[in-house]
Structure 1
Amino acid sequence: MSRRGTNGADGGERIVRRKLSDQVLERLLEMITRGEIAPGETMPSERDLMERFGVGRPAVREALHSLDTMGLISISHGERARVSALSAETAIHQIDGVARLLLSADPDNLGHLKAARRFFEIGMVRSAAERARPTDIGDLRALVARQRETLGDAEAFISADIAFHRRIAEMSGNPIFVAVCDAMLNWLFTYHTDLLLWAGAEDTTLAEHDEIVDCIAQGAADAAAVAMGRHLDRSATLYRHHDAVG
């Protein structure tokens, strides 16, 4: 009596036939990661790729579409695909659509995002206070001044707010931190902008930003962390899930 395995009727491992487009995608990824095609350069034509890999046009087109979706190439009508520059921003951008769906699907996820942002930004402001240069302080004060000039224009005010927090993340010198900061802020401010829950909060925001900059300028990491935590705790009430309004 033969023994039956969990992977197949005869106890062996099944060989799954892979789609041609997946194999082409794997080859194209290797070409990009090896630097065979540098950022900014055009991809080989569809005909060249068909001949190189011995496949039909549908497999090549599907693989190129996957690369475009991943943000690794850009496709313009009537032109050959061009390789995009690889960056932390490119990587984080790939989860943008899924993240927005996740936030919309469950009100609890917005709370989780607020908590993650608080943890992240307190770490960022500590780092900023420890390594700030005069030019960094000047940039932050200029951003607060720019934000003050946008009072009455909610969209411009929010844009300046994002720039302020992003500049603090930039002081870390770590591009991954900057990309994560951009993503979290843009996901959060989607709720902020749509609901326009700003009434009476702008002046408080500006005062809190001034306090944060003062702490950074003094190199007071603990005080900067406390100021940032207080600022985020207060502003967190301005972000509401759509289901929680009305």
Structure 2
Amino acid sequence: MGRGTSGGRTLCRMSEEPRNARRNSSRERHVGTQIRRDVMQLILDRRLPPGAPLPTEAELMESLGVSRNSVREALKALQALDIVEIRHGYGTYVGQASLTPLVDGLTFRTLAQVEDDHAALAEILQVREVLEEGLIRRVAGGLTEDRLARLDAIVGRMEESAEAGEPFPDLDRAFHETLYEALGNALVPQLLAAFWHVFHRVAKVRGWTRDPAPAITARRHRAILTALRERDVEGAQEAMADHFRGIEARSGQETLGVK
């Protein structure tokens, strides 16, 4: 009887251990999340700009009432989000809060869909298409002659490259960035660059390095510019849609056109 009771207690303890471990793990995650939020709130409350020094680990431990290890883990997590920058031997500073974590996440998400990464890439292109079709309506009617001249110079270089049969991804990117600079919205070029980087990273990993139709790409950019010069908002939007339909059509092929 005693042996049976002892064995039962042993089994009970064994079943409780994983449960306790799960509770402790959940509690640690909650604490870590709260510390990260507290550090972010500190940055906001003190209106600290990128590059500004943060309080030392000891100061954060005291103000937040947590251990040194908890502070370090929280700061490492925030560094992965580019919210803080840890400079070993110097301290911790406010980060740039860039979209690098977004780029890394979207790239991984696309490549992780091994069986159909073309479909995952098409989703990213669709988001960018919706974004740009909306943005071009905002700029189409108000571009200055100087900006139109800059866009014309970029398209001209595209056409020269196309005649030589050379792809021109950097010129493509420059065209879109120059087009939306007029908005004066700092987030727009960052978002466009994020999608651009994801596309290129995936293309490089998958070996999609050859653009089969640079002449068509140049012609589609010329069509966008022509509509912009004519202050044709609907025409500019349709020309941009045609451009993206071309990218999407080639993204399903082995020789993916890189944009």
TM-superposed CA distance for 1:158, in Å, is 0.9
Specify the alignment match of 2:232 in structure 1.
220
Aligned equivalents of 1:116, 1:73: Cα separation in 2: 29
Runs of 4+ in 1 over 6 A off after TM superposition: none
The Cα of 1:29 is off from its aligned counterpart by: 1.1
Q: Assess, with a 3 A threshold, how the Cα gap between structure 1 residues 55 and 118 changes in structure 2: closer, same or farther.
A: closer
Output aligned runs, 1:38-187, within 5 Å.
Answer: 38-86=49-97, 90=98, 92-104=99-111, 105=113, 106-107=116-117, 108-148=119-159, 154=167, 157-187=168-198
1:237 matched to which residue of 2?
249
TM-fit CA distance, 1:32 = 0.6
- Note the C-alpha offset of 1:195: 1.0
Kindly tell me: are residues 189 and 35 of structure 1, through their superposed partners in 2, closer, same or farther at Cα, counting changes over 3 Å? same
Q: 1:188 to 1:179 in 2, by over 3 A?
A: same
Gaps of 5+ in 2: 1-22
Counterpart amino acid of 2:65? G
Equivalent position SS for 1:96? helix
- The number of equivalent residue pairs is 222
Separation in structure 2 between the aligned mates of residue 218 and residue 46 of structure 1, nearest angstrom? 59
Structure 1 position 153, deviation (Å): 5.7
Q: 1:36 to 1:204 in 2, by over 3 A?
A: closer
State the secondary structure of the residue aligned to 2:54.
coil
The alpha-carbon deviation at position 152 of structure 1 amounts to: 6.0
Deviation string, structure 1 residues 185-236 (Cα, Å, up to 9, x no partner): 222233445412313x112222221221121122111111222222222232
SS in 2 for 1:75: strand
> Sequence identity, in percent?
24
SS of the aligned residue for 1:38 comes to coil
Aligned letter for 2:224?
A: I
Q: 1:8 matched to which residue of 2? A: none
Describe the shift of the 1:121–1:23 C-alpha distance in structure 2 as closer, same or farther (beyond 3 A): closer
Gap change, CA 1:25 and 1:165, over 3 Å in 2: same
Whichever residue aligns with residue 195 of structure 1, its letter is W
Aligned to 2:222: 210
Cα distance change, pair 241–206 in 1 and its aligned pair in 2 (3 A): closer
The answer to whether the 8 Å contact 1:129/1:218 transfers is no
Give the residue type in structure 1 aligned to 2:123. Answer: H
Q: TM-score, normalised by structure 1?
A: 0.77
| Structure 2 counterpart of 1:24, one-letter code | I
**CA offsets per residue over residues 84-120 of structure 1, 9 Å max, x none?**
245xxx2x43322221122221432222223333322
- Residue by residue over 1:140-167, the C-alpha shift from the partner in whole angstroms, topping out at 9 and shown as x without a partner, is 123224445656664xx21221121222
CA contact (8 A) 1:191 1:239 kept: no
Higher mean displacement: 161-170 or 18-27 = 18-27
Structure 1 stretches of 5 or more lacking a match? Answer: 1-13
Bigger share in helix: 2
The alpha-carbon distance between structure 1 residues 116 and 30, as it changes in their structure 2 partners (threshold 3 A), is closer
